[in-house]
A and B are shown apart, each in its own frame.
Chain A
């Protein structure tokens, strides 16, 4: 049982190849981190898995617990269990957070079944308490006028409410001060479970001080160039991404 990426190639609409053969296996129960410099294709990988229309998959597969996902629409992939915490979450003007999350949960129910409103709010409030979010937050429009930290916390809240099988967190640490980072990490750590796989995408090692990954991968120019344990992150922190150049020369 895993989210399995096999020799994935993807291009932009203009034909520029961004992913040049990515292979990665994220089994349930494990937390993987992908690190890499800007432009290495980390964020593209997350968008391609989620089904963003701006990219064209030219070859390779992604399977969710053995099932091919490229035949599924964006929303089908979501309902099948893939969650993407966005680096830049969109605003949805006029739609309250409570209604938005409720609509997302409702979309997972069979036709004719309705969310139990009382249980829903109870659950929502308990998750919000863990993320130290004010109750007023439920009535605010999704991400409208939110600070960077509030947006990221909101992504984690949605993730906690939707209980996906596989979570992909794209640069969740960017734009967070240390206190916000700790809160976000608390939420993510609470989500770690034997039934869930996680992929953290980050530029810096900082996030990994708070969310300990089982495996660390380094991505450069559209490929995974190195894989290792948590110690790899520290190595990168110490030496930077310079070694990649040596790797390219070799």
Chain B
């Protein structure tokens, strides 16, 4: 066999690996939406959403201002991919719901929605290890519940709509403060049409032993999902929040554009875990940022496996002394995918510490990009940053880029940056195959090895799922 022939076969096998559907998420039910904002985005769309959701006036005003910012801001193709121009905002449907309020019991959830979440394993996970769950179906949550003992301790876990109405005094002071409307074009879009997402408040000193989970599901074609999440951890409290997402594979592009704001008050600790497995037609443009006060800690643990294009740079503003920020991220880009991810670490107090560990895997013609920003201003002292980015290329068509920007002013700080690019070498592959593993199994093992130290950071239940997803991506249908 010639070298070209053997490469061609490898490509075919890789291709098969790509074509395996994300079977678990690839199904849909007929739409039965009572409320549909129609296609395209105007101020009438915003009013429609406000009317359906019965928004207070301050929210209506907030949305209209945001819409103007969205229209005014150019698409950021000066630094980001031109693929952004392929999002047709006139074709997208901005709000779809059946008009039902989120249910507290799965028994009250409509059968097809219930079946959707059962197939995704959500009620089972809730019984097994979760303190509370919100399950969003297109624009609104179908189910939202938290364990009673937590409610008694004062924990609030509701949808953002309920949060802004029922808990305005806690919600409003922080809403849009960590991520202002105009942060970027897509945060402005979210601010104009947001629906769904969670509002969480953890009272002083309350430490949640089990995680809270949100699951975001897109069911309808050409739909845009714009959930909005705000988590406030009061002094000395601790919470882990996990989110998962899937969508069926439609012919047309789907848009997911979320905004997530985290507030960790003095000594509080928030861990936010994401396993993103969108189908390969989803544009996933998400803005996530946390603020950490004195002695507080914000950790983003982020895994991006699916989507057509993901742009996501979780950030932490370390506002109080000795605050800590961390981003642990894994990205897997298969052919037809671009994972453009990274981290933003803004040091705004003395003796603050940030850590970024990013690992990306590019398979076939998949492309991964790391963009990092670390800012340590001159007037501070004793700040530390560690940044590590490692890229693994699975074959010669893959592409990876790293754009680290570390701005450190003054000389009273410590930073270190390491980056590496590696490949699954022919020798390694031959070695593993000689032990009886087929090419897919060997690749899968190599990829799992590459991210092994980061996978340990995920809760057990998620790391098992993660390994399974990676095996599926790598092995294809051939066993």
Contact = CB atoms under 8 A, between A and B. Distances in A.
B6 interface: yes
Contacts, number: 83
A24 B339 CA distance: 53
Contacts of B451: 94
A242 to B, nearest CB: 34
Given A73-B438, A100-B445, A111 B479 contact: yes
Interface string B438-454: 11011001101111110
A94 B431 contact: no
A93 interface: yes
Main secondary structure of the interface of A (DSSP, over half): mixed
A89 interface: yes
Given A52-B430, A90-B428, A95 B446 contact: yes
A92 interface: yes
B441 A103 contact: yes
Interface string B416-447: 00000000011110111111111101100110
Given A94-B453, A107-B441, A74 B433 contact: yes
Contact of A92 (B3, B432, B434, B453): B432
B430 A141 contact: no
B430 A74 contact: yes
Interface in A118-153: 141
Nearest to B428: A90
A86 interface: yes
A90 B431 contact: yes
Nearest to A110: B479
B6 A53 contact: yes
Interface string A133-176: 00000000100000000000000001000100000000000000
Interface residues of B, number: 28
Contact of A107 (B427, B437, B450): B437
Given A90-B427, A92-B428, A103-B441, A50 B434 contact: yes
Interface in A196-222: none
Contacts of B80: none
B460 interface: no
Contacts of B1: 53
Interface string B1-43: 1010010000000000000000000000000000000000000
A89 B431 CA distance: 7
A244 interface: no
Interface in A77-109: 77-79, 83-84, 86, 89-95, 99-101, 103-104, 107-108
Interface in B374-432: 425-428, 430-432
Contact of B433 (A73, A86, A91, A100): A73
Contacts of B435: 75, 78, 100-101, 104, 107, 158, 162
B449 A95 contact: yes
Nearest to B1: A53
A95 B445 contact: yes
A73 B10 CA distance: 13
Contacts of A73: 433, 438
A114 interface: no
A13 interface: yes
Contact of B434 (A84, A100, A101): A84
Contact of B438 (A94, A95, A101, A107): A107
Given A92-B446, A94-B453, A103 B434 contact: no
B297 to A, nearest CB: 26
Contacts of B450: 93-94
A226 B413 CA distance: 70
A80 to B, nearest CB: 9
A39 to B, nearest CB: 20
A75 B3 contact: no
B436 A94 contact: no
A166 to B, nearest CB: 13
A107 B436 contact: yes
A91 B422 CA distance: 13
A83 B208 CA distance: 52
A108 B448 contact: no
Nearest to B439: A75
The CB with the most chain A CB atoms within 10 A, among B430, B439, B452, B453, is that of: B430
Contacts of A86: 431, 434
Contact of B449 (A50, A74, A78, A92): A92
Nearest to B451: A94
A37 to B, nearest CB: 24
Interface string B270-295: 00000000000000000000000000
A100 B449 CA distance: 10
Contacts of A84: 434
27 contacts: A13-B3, A50-B434, A53-B430, A74-B430, A74-B433, A75-B436, A75-B437, A75-B438, A78-B435, A84-B434, A86-B431, A90-B425, A90-B427, A90-B428, A90-B431, A92-B445, A94-B448, A94-B453, A95-B448, A100-B432, A100-B435, A103-B437, A104-B437, A107-B437, A107-B438, A108-B436, A162-B436
